[in-house]
Amino acid sequence: MSALPMTSSSGDFPTDRHGWAELLPERQASLPLRGAHRVAWAVIGAGVTGLACARRLADLHPDREIMLLDARLVGQGASGRNSGFAVAVSHFGGGFEADRLESYRRVNRINQAGLDLLRAQVAESAIDCQWCEEGFLHTAADRLAIRECSHFLRYLEAMEIAHTPLDAQALSARLGTALYQAGVHVHQGALLQPAALVRGLADNLPANVRLHERSPVLRIEKGAPLTLKLPNGDVQTDKLVLAVNHEAAKLGFLRRYLIGSTLSGSFTRALNDEEVASLGCLKEWGLLSLHHGGATVRLTADRRMSLRNAAEYHGGALLSDKLLARRQSIHRAAFEKRFPNLAHVPFEYAWSGVEGISRNSTNFFGRQGDNIFLAGGYNGSGVSRGTAFGTALADYAGGAHSPLIDDCLASAPGAWIPPRPFLDIGAFFTVRSRFRGVGLDR
């Protein structure tokens, strides 16, 4: 029996208590896996992709047990550390290219499929995750982002996507900041509390899904069945799904195709009535910068301001508390630049998270070996897209065909990333390039 490369230890999956989960009450976690187990299906990773895949597998195979394993607690991975945007419409930087029309449509079909699935699951299980399906704002403050706004509007018009252009006055009236000079409200898309979403999905899985948290898979031994080696047990499975995004490399997959970019942000304390009133006419909103290195900002349903504007290559790891405190000074400057009237409002929490990015911004979907399947690499759009990919992968692994599977399979091949030390150098400059010309949008 052959084995793929082994991780050094369970310490290869570090975490901290920071993030959106800090804003939630304590949750009863599932027990770590112990002992020997035999199942038909195993899914590694209990983020949005793995949860969607396990749910779909359970529906397709109601008489089979589905094993769902996560190295951390649910909500501690990237699915609980993003900014809480479930996109339906992707922003493709640069001028609109008519010959890419079908590619634009394909990606947006995947986004919409994921959004539809999430909406249904949130409603069916009554998940309290601050779901708000009012779309969100794409904004521009500096020269490059303002030019990008023109490109984005042309794209929206050509694609016949519902939207409302906004000038500086309209943005100020909605948001309570004079920073932004141009923008657009895209009507599709949902805002949510990401840790509450994945916790809710995990706590409402079908009865034939068995979830084990704090259960890192350290080695995969090939064979029939496949054998997963964990610190305190093992799992034999006929078919395996990998839903671990950039951490697939730790298990021997996509080692030269995905890297982890570490992002960080901060939350304020809850605002009072007077402070909320100073922010304009919208009582909840989310904005994405039209410069890909610009800040992502939200006013949440529980009246907190959230701002994320730092991304770096940190070896795919979270930031230490010391580094996070340093980054918070960057968050603070960006916050007060936008909202000088709220300069007195302190930050209460800070967090970091890791997104999986590919060199050519593609996604990964399909077979990775005998009875091994993988989905990942969402380049910052994983909430809706990961849900669609996870659902489609369950069907694909079972031999089904569908338009959604065809759309997922049509992702462009990943561009090869050179090994270390060139990887570190290239990744550093790749991530840093996001901020070129960001100016006031940072």
In DSSP notation, 401-426 reads --HHHHHHHTSPPPPP-PPTTHHHHH
Q: Which pLDDT score, from 0 to 100, does residue 434 have?
A: 65
Q: Which pLDDT score, from 0 to 100, does residue 6 have?
A: 47
pLDDT in single tens digits along all 442 residues of the chain: 455 544 546 678 989 989 999 999 999 999 999 999 999 999 999 999 999 999 999 999 999 999 999 999 999 999 999 999 999 999 999 989 999 999 999 999 999 999 999 999 999 999 999 999 999 999 999 999 999 999 999 999 999 999 999 999 999 999 999 999 999 999 999 999 999 999 999 999 999 999 999 999 999 999 999 999 999 999 999 999 999 998 999 999 988 788 888 999 999 999 999 999 999 999 999 999 999 889 999 999 999 999 999 888 888 899 999 999 999 999 999 999 999 999 999 999 999 999 888 878 899 999 999 999 999 998 888 999 999 999 999 999 999 999 999 999 999 888 867 766 656 666 666 666 666 788 999 9
Q: Which pLDDT score, from 0 to 100, does residue 1 have?
A: 47
DSSP class of 428: H
Q: Which pLDDT score, from 0 to 100, does residue 429 have?
A: 61
Calculate the CA dihedral of residues 187, 193, 198, 201 and round it to 10 degrees: -70
Q: Which pLDDT score, from 0 to 100, does residue 427 have?
A: 64
Q: Which pLDDT score, from 0 to 100, does residue 228 have?
A: 98
Collect all residues with Cβ–Cβ distance below 8 Å to 200 and sequence separation of at least 6. Answer: 122, 125, 127, 128, 129
Are 229 and 218 spatial neighbours (Cβ–Cβ below 8 Å)?
yes
Q: Which pLDDT score, from 0 to 100, does residue 316 have?
A: 87
Q: Which pLDDT score, from 0 to 100, does residue 436 have?
A: 79
Q: Which pLDDT score, from 0 to 100, does residue 260 have?
A: 87
H or E, element range at 244: none
- Please name each of the domains of the chain with its CATH number: 1-135+192-251+363-411 (3.50.50.60), 136-187+259-357+421-442 (3.30.9.10)
What's the rounded Cα separation, in Å, for the pair 178 and 181? 8
Are 197 and 304 spatial neighbours (Cβ–Cβ below 8 Å)?
no
What's the rounded Cα separation, in Å, for the pair 358 and 354? 13
Q: What are phi and psi of 309, to 5 degrees?
A: -145, 20
Buried b or exposed e, range 184-200, using 16+ CB within 10 angstroms: bbbebbbbbbbbbbbbb
Q: Which pLDDT score, from 0 to 100, does residue 282 have?
A: 94
In Å, how far from its chain's centre is CA 11? 23
Closest CA to 355 of 374, 334, 380: 380
Q: Which pLDDT score, from 0 to 100, does residue 240 have?
A: 98
What's the rounded Cα separation, in Å, for the pair 361 and 380? 10
Helix, strand, coil percentages in the chain from 3-state DSSP, rounded to 5: 35, 25, 40
Q: Which pLDDT score, from 0 to 100, does residue 416 have?
A: 67
- Amino acid identity of 111? N
DSSP class of 195: H
Q: Which pLDDT score, from 0 to 100, does residue 149 have?
A: 98
